[in-house]
Amino acid sequence: MNPVSIEIEEALSLDSNREIKQQMDPEFFKAAAAGNSEPFKEMAREEIKSLLTAKTENTILHINIISQERENVSTKFVEEILEKCPPLLLQVNAKGDTPLHVAAKFGHSGTVRFLVERAKLPQHENEELESRVGAARQMIRMTNKEKNTALHEAVCRQNVDVVEILTKEDPDYPYSANNYGKTPLYMAAESRSSNMVLALLENSTSVSHEGPNGKTALHAAAKEFRFGDAALPKLLEKKKNLIKETDQYGWTPIHYAAYHGNYRTINLLLETDQHALDIADKDRKMTALQLAAGQGHAKIVEAIISKNPECCELVDNRGWNFLHYAMINFADMNSVSIEIEEASLLDNNGEISQLQIDPNLFKAAAAGNLEPFKDMAREEILEICPSLLLQVNAKGDSRSLLVAAKFGHCDIVSVLIERAKLLQHEDKELESGVGASR
């Protein structure tokens, strides 16, 4: 291997203001980078330990591992140096990285395997195997200054081979979140790596799932995964309870899948637990159905309603249901085909009644087309879709009228006003024939 320029090492510096402990001789740096152990054979252990680069405080082991190309990795230098100076195995650099961190980061699976086995070597005669395995696991669990373990680093760089080695070696360790609030499982889901998600779930017995801002690995998977492979079903199998977990915004994994238009993901989530559809977020009290309608994801709207038609009548903090959001995107929602014959709708008394609903009426409302409703009797309109015309928000305003006016649907506004006048004129309980349109 050609000697690596010392400028490479300086480029890896984390903090140029760190105290300089010792300036490594450039010849020693070049020898370590090239895998040449000759200059170090006559050195004492303490002298080898003191060989650190000025800013990053990398040892000669760090330098050797960083300098190797993944396709041509050799552990010979690492073996020879650890024979002379075993403490280098756990010695950290300025970032808090052990040699294992660096090997995991660069995807050197052979070096990772060697370092783990090296940690298991007996430190004294008659040392039990359990103690030696414990020493290896202690090294695997060490965190750097970002609270990353070697597994965090491997997942971050999508080094699946290293992930498998580390999880099989220490399957019971849950792995906490790093300084960014991310566990390895969350990072794997966020990176859309099915292989890493599967490796973590299949090899670990208690892997943690936390992410930042109250999110979980299932939130990340629902947002990022756009294919129907084995990773998401495995995650749901192992972590089914996460489907109702909400983040700091009150969003469940189903909210994310609905918002981002992940059709295959939403179907998997609904097959697991459709009751999460009733959960609304914190600020606007929006459900997944309303989010999907607002984004114009017609197939997802259809999938949600076919699973749980009762969620059609859930409203947000403005009193809007999914039809109001669909009206905003009526051009995109025009293809919605709701394959249900029975829908559970709330009547004016808040009671649920089972009604035979024509799917074309849902399609017309979603498209902003009120023509099918013009010749209907008052009772039919109020029964079929009470929120469409006379249902009002907390201020007494017609929800549909507000939406139509806001988005410039003048023809719809006119129809609503005229129809409201007519209906209220027929209603003896109302004092004025124009009150509903105000």
Beta bridge pairs of residue 346: 352
Instruction: Quote the domain boundaries for residue 309.
Output: 289-404
What was the pLDDT predicted at 392?
45
What was the pLDDT predicted at 223?
84
What was the pLDDT predicted at 340?
31
Q: Which two tokens stand for residue 99?
A: 């040699």
Residues of the chain with confidence (pLDDT) below 50: 1-21, 331-357, 366, 382, 385-399, 401-403, 405-408, 412, 428-438
- Structural domain includes residue 393: yes
What was the pLDDT predicted at 344?
36
φ/ψ of 393, rounded to 5, equals -90, -170
- Structural domain includes residue 355: yes
What was the pLDDT predicted at 72?
81
pLDDT tens-place string over residues 130-169: 566 788 999 999 999 999 999 999 999 999 999 999 999 9
What was the pLDDT predicted at 388?
46
What was the pLDDT predicted at 403?
46
Count up the domains in the chain and report the number: 1
- Structural domain includes residue 75: no
- Structural domain includes residue 309: yes
- Structural domain includes residue 358: yes
- Structural domain includes residue 379: yes
Give the global pTM: 0.72
What was the pLDDT predicted at 1?
38
Q: Which residues contact 259 (CB under 8 A, 6 or more apart)?
A: 288, 291, 292, 295
CA distance 378 to 101: 71
What was the pLDDT predicted at 266?
92
Query: Which residue, among 361, 349, 403, 402, has the nearest Cα to 385 in the 3D structure?
Result: 361
- Structural domain includes residue 354: yes
What was the pLDDT predicted at 206?
87
Q: Which residues contact 408 (CB under 8 A, 6 or more apart)?
A: none
SS3 (DSSP) at 280: coil
Asked whether 303 and 263 are in contact (CB, 8 A), the reply is: yes
End-to-end CA distance of the chain: 82
What was the pLDDT predicted at 187?
96
- Structural domain includes residue 347: yes
